[in-house]
Amino acid sequence: MELYFSPGACSLATHIALNAGNIAHDRVKVDLKAKTTEQGEDYRTINPKGYVPALEIEDGALLTENIALLSYVGSLAPALFPPDGMAHWRTLETLAFISTELHKSFKPLFNPASSEAEKDEAKKTLRGRFDLIEPMLNGRPFLNGDAIGVTDCYLFVTLFWAKEKFGMELSPTLAGYFSRMREQPAVAQALKEEGIA
Ligand SMILES: N[C@@H](CCC(=O)N[C@@H](CS)C(=O)NCC(=O)O)C(=O)O
């Protein structure tokens, strides 16, 4: 299995999940500006979408989209994604929220052409979204319960961007969660492997 990634990009979520599930994999670094792999291949010939993450699975098929990759990893490591019952649907619901409401709201912050007003507006939206995710912890250490799951891997990446990249202040609950996540071996290892520890 091969994960196409860029250091600190949303592909970090699948990287953490693969580590947390002890799933053997190789990683291929992608230059997102040049659209080339570290081996100098044209990344668009591998993934016409041109963005990360992408996961080449055992039969050579290429899976794309964070929700699909995290669900796939969860199917291989059920402790990361409850396989049935209401917890399964809640996990899918939370992944969708993180992808479409949190992740996408960062777009103006990553766009060098955004004005300061657009960036401020994006931060305001994000603060509202983070306020909505906080109760989903429901007093538990992780979104997945007592141990991390795929939702935590993805939420961590958005908090990492908010705090480390864009200097946003996290609420005490989310700041505590962020520190707890950072101490997880799967997270620490992934940050180290991506050279952003
Ligand atoms: N819809 C995609 C979006 C992935 C995405 O936003 N990837 C970013 C990195 S976090 C990227 O590769 N951006 C470079 C580009 O779009 O050219 C998914 O959910 O997987």
- Taking only the tens place, the pLDDT of each residue in 110-156 is 999 999 999 999 999 999 999 999 999 999 999 999 999 999 999 99
Specify the pLDDT at position 75. Answer: 97
Dihedral sign computed on CA atoms, order 100, 188, 197, 19: negative
pLDDT digits (tens, 9 = 90+) for 84-103: 999 999 999 999 999 999 99
> pLDDT at position 58, please?
81
189 pLDDT more than 90: yes
Ligand 1 binding pocket, CB closer than 6 Å: 9-10, 32, 50-53, 65-66, 99
Cβ neighbours of 140 (radius 10 Å):
12
DSSP code of residue 132: H
- Tell whether 86 and 180 lie within a shared domain: yes
Do 108 and 21 share a structural domain? Answer: no
CA 169 to chain centre: 19
* Residue 19 pLDDT level (bands cut at 50, 70, 90): very high
Select from 6, 10, 102, 160 the residue to mutate for testing ligand 1; criterion: most ligand atoms less than 8 Å from CB: 10
Tell how far the Cα of 110 is from the centroid of ligand 1, in angstroms: 11
Residues 58, 138: one domain? no
pTM of the model: 0.98
For ligand 1, atom 2: residue with the closest CA: 65
What is the count of structural domains for the chain?
2
For 117, residues 6+ apart whose C-beta sits below 8 A from its C-beta are: none
Are 55 and 136 within one domain?
no
- Quickly state the pLDDT bin for 59 (edges 50, 70, 90): confident
Cα(32) to centroid of ligand 1, in Å? Answer: 9
- Domain span including residue 30: 2-77+189-193
